[in-house]
Structure 1
Amino acid sequence: MTSVLTGVSDELDPRLLEHRRELTGYCYRMLGSSFDADDAVQETLVRAWKSLADFEGRSSLRSWLYRIATNVCLDQLSGRQRRALPMDLSGSSWSPVEASLAAKRPAEAWVEPVLDRQVLPEDGDPAERAVARESVRLAFVAALQHLPPRQRAVLLLRDVLRWRADEVAGLLETTVASVNSALQRARATLAAMGGTPEPRPLDADSRELLARYLDAFERYDVDAFVALLHEDATQHMPPFEMWLGGAADIGTWMLGPGSACRGSRLLQTEANGCPAFAQYRLRGDGVHVPWALHVLEIDGDRVRHITSFLDLDTGLFVRLGMPAVLEPRPEAATS
C-alpha cells in the first residue's frame, strides 16, 4: 500500500501529527478496519495540510481535524456493506472438521484487528483510558457496524470522546435535537445487541493464565490448553465463516485440521483492548512465519473467547508492524 503522505510527510505541520493516534482510533471505530483507518487518517492529514493556511481558528485544531476525519469516513462508508465477525453470521457453531473451511469471505467483509499501541493513549486519566480500551473491543466495534454511519459518528463523539451535543451538532452541521435523537437511537440499537462489556483490567492471575496459555500452545499440549478454556468457550477464524463452540470442539480442531500449528511460536501483544498473541507457524527451513493474530477474551480464571485473524497472504502482520519472520531461537540453532 502506498501512503498518500509519501512526498509530503516531512512537510506536515507537527501540530497535525500530534493527533494521529487518536484520529486513528476514531476512524478505526467508524470503519471497523485498521488499514482503512490508516488510509482515512492519511487523507485527513493531507486535506488539513493543504488547507492549514486557510484555517481561521474558529474552532480548535483538534475539532477541525475531527470534522475532516468524519467526512472522510462517511465518504468511505457510502455504499459499503457492514463488516462483521463470523459469529454475527450464524447462530450455531460449526463442526470441527476440515469441510467447515469451505465457506470463506474476502478480507473486506470482516472486522479487522488493531494493536492497542496504534489507537490507545499511552497515558492520561485511568478512567478515560479504560473507556478507550473498551471502545475498541471487537464485540463493540462489530456492534457499531450495525449503526448508520452518522449515528455511529454521533455515538462515538458523545459517548466515547465525551463531546458536548452542541459540539457534535457543529461538527455534523446539524441541530442539537438531531444529535440527541441520533444518540438515543444508536444507544437503543447497541442495548438490543447486548450492550458493551464491563472493563476487566488484567491482574496477576490473568498474567499467569497468559503465561500458561503460551506455554501450552508452544508445546502443543492440547489437553493443557483446553483446560485453560471455559467449557463453553468459542473461537472464530476470519476469513472463514466457521466458528467453534465449546472447549472440546476447539481441542478436536487443534488435533485435526489445525494440527499443522504444532511447533508454532507465539509473541504476546495487546490488540483491541485485550491480551493477544501473534502466532508464527514453523516453515520447513526452521523459520517461523506469520499465521494468525489471536485476540483473547478472559473471564475470571479462564479464556472465554478467541478470535484468530489468519494472515493468509494478506500481509496482516507486516501492516500491523509485527515481525515478518521469526528466526530460529539460539538454542535451536546450536542444538
Structure 2
Amino acid sequence: MVDVELRLEEFRIELNGYCYRMLGSAFEAEDAVQETMVRAWKAFDKFEGRAALRSWLYRIATNVCLDMLGSAQRRARPMELGPSAKAREVTEVVPLPEQVWVGPVPDSRVVPDRSDPAEVAVARDSIRLAFVAALQHLPPKQRAVLILREVLAWSAQETAELLGLTVASVNSALQRARATIASADLTGDRLEPLDKDQSDLLSRYVQAFEAYDMASLAALLHEDATVSMPPIALWFRGHDEIRQWMLGPGAHCRGSRLVPTVANGLPAFGQYRPSGPDGRHEPWALIVLETSGNKITGINSFLDVERVFPLFRLPSHPDEAA
C-alpha cells in the first residue's frame, strides 16, 4: 500500500488548489483533501482503472466539497458584508467567526510546480482573493463546473461525467457561472518577481510602512484603495479614511517590521508589531496586497496569526526569517 500512498500524494497540491477554490478556506481545503485521500486509499482495491486516477480523485474530492458546502454559509470578504466605515465613527471592533471569511493560502500549497508558465499563471490568477470570493457566489455544482472547465481545462464531456450531469447541463451551468463572475471586479496584478516596477512598488511600501510614513504610504495607494482586517468586519476606502485609521486606532502598528511571503498569487508580508517595553516584535497580521499598475488597490490584513503564520511557515520573530 506504500505505492498506493505515493501515487495518491502526487495529486495533493493540485487537489488542495481545487478544494481551496471550492471552499474558500485553506484549512477546510486541507481537511477535504485529507478526507479524499482516506476515501481513495480505502477504496483503491475497487479502482479498476476504468477512469484515470486523476479523474477518480477529482470525483471523490468534488463529492467531499459538495458535502461540506451543503450546510455552510457563503464565505466572503469584508467589502461584501456592508459599506465602508468612517474611521472617526468606529467605537468598537468585533471579530466574526473564521467560517465567515475567504481566507489566504500559500501558493506552495495549491499551485503545482509545473514547467508550463501559462499553466502556472492560470493557477495563480485563479487563487487571487477577488476570484475566490467571486466563486463563493456560485451554487456549489456551478462552482465546480467553472473551476473544472475554465481553470483546469477539462472538457464538457469530462466535467459532465465527473458531476453526473449531461453535457448540455454543464454548458448551461458554465454560461450562468461566467455571467456571475463577469459582474465581479477581478482587475489586479499577480505577483511578478521579475517585474522591476512591481518590485519597486513593494520596496517603497515596506519602507513607508516600517517608517510609518503615512504621506509616503498614501502616495502608493490608488484613490479608491481599501483596507480590510478579517476577522473584523469593518473596512475602509480611500486615502483619508485609511490615513485616519492608521494614525488613530491603528497607530499601534507604528514600528512594525515586515517579512515577505506570497499568498494567493499576490505579494504578502508577515507583519510583526512592537510588543512590550523591550520593543520585541510579535506576530500581528498577514498582509496581502492587491496591486494594479503602479498602485496598491487593496491591503488585506488577516489577523488570525495563531493559525495563519504556521500555515505560511512564518517565524515567531522577524529576525528568524531566512
Instruction: Calculate the TM-score normalised by the size of structure 1.
Output: 0.89
Is 1:52 paired with 2:39? no
Q: Which letter maps to 1:216?
A: A
User: What residue number does 1:183 align with?
Assistant: 174
Q: Structure 1, unaligned stretches of length 5 or more? A: 1-7, 330-335
CA positional deviation for 1:102: 3.1
Identity rate, percent:
58
CA distance in 1, matches of 2:257, 2:188: 31
CA distance in 2, matches of 1:294, 1:328: 18
User: What residue number does 2:123 align with?
Assistant: 132
1:148-179: CA deviation from partner (whole Å, max 9, x where unpaired): 10100011000100001111111112211111
User: What residue number does 1:315 align with?
Assistant: 307
CA distance in 2, matches of 1:231, 1:199: 17
What SS is found at the alignment partner of 1:266? strand
What SS is found at the alignment partner of 1:260? helix
User: What residue number does 2:284 align with?
Assistant: 291
CA distance in 2, matches of 1:95, 1:67: 46
User: What residue number does 1:204 align with?
Assistant: 196
Cα pair distance change 1:11/1:100, threshold 3 Å: farther
CA positional deviation for 1:11: 8.1
Count, aligned residues: 318
What SS is found at the alignment partner of 2:51? coil
1:261-310: CA deviation from partner (whole Å, max 9, x where unpaired): 11211111111111111101122244322211111111121211111111
Is 1:303 paired with 2:296? yes
Is 1:122 paired with 2:113? yes
Cα pair distance change 1:69/1:100, threshold 3 Å: farther
User: What residue number does 1:160 align with?
Assistant: 151
Is 1:239 paired with 2:231? yes
Instruction: Calculate the TM-score normalised by the size of structure 2.
Output: 0.93
CA distance in 1, matches of 2:320, 2:32: 37
What SS is found at the alignment partner of 1:268? strand
CA distance in 2, matches of 1:97, 1:205: 35
CA positional deviation for 1:136: 0.5
1:82-123: CA deviation from partner (whole Å, max 9, x where unpaired): 000010112x32111472543432111010001111111233
CA positional deviation for 1:259: 0.8
What SS is found at the alignment partner of 1:121? coil
Cα pair distance change 1:139/1:15, threshold 3 Å: same
Aligned alpha-carbon RMSD (Å): 2.0
Match of 1:36 among 3, 19, 28: 28
Cα pair distance change 1:43/1:324, threshold 3 Å: farther
CA distance in 2, matches of 1:156, 1:21: 15
Indicate conservation of the 8 Å contact 1:155/1:183, yes or no: yes
Match of 1:215 among 207, 211, 223: 207
Is 1:84 paired with 2:76? yes
Cα pair distance change 1:30/1:328, threshold 3 Å: closer
CA distance in 2, matches of 1:46, 1:282: 43
What SS is found at the alignment partner of 1:315? helix
CA distance in 1, matches of 2:320, 2:7: 42
Q: Which letter maps to 1:305?
A: G
CA positional deviation for 1:52: 1.5
Match of 2:259 among 253, 263, 267: 267
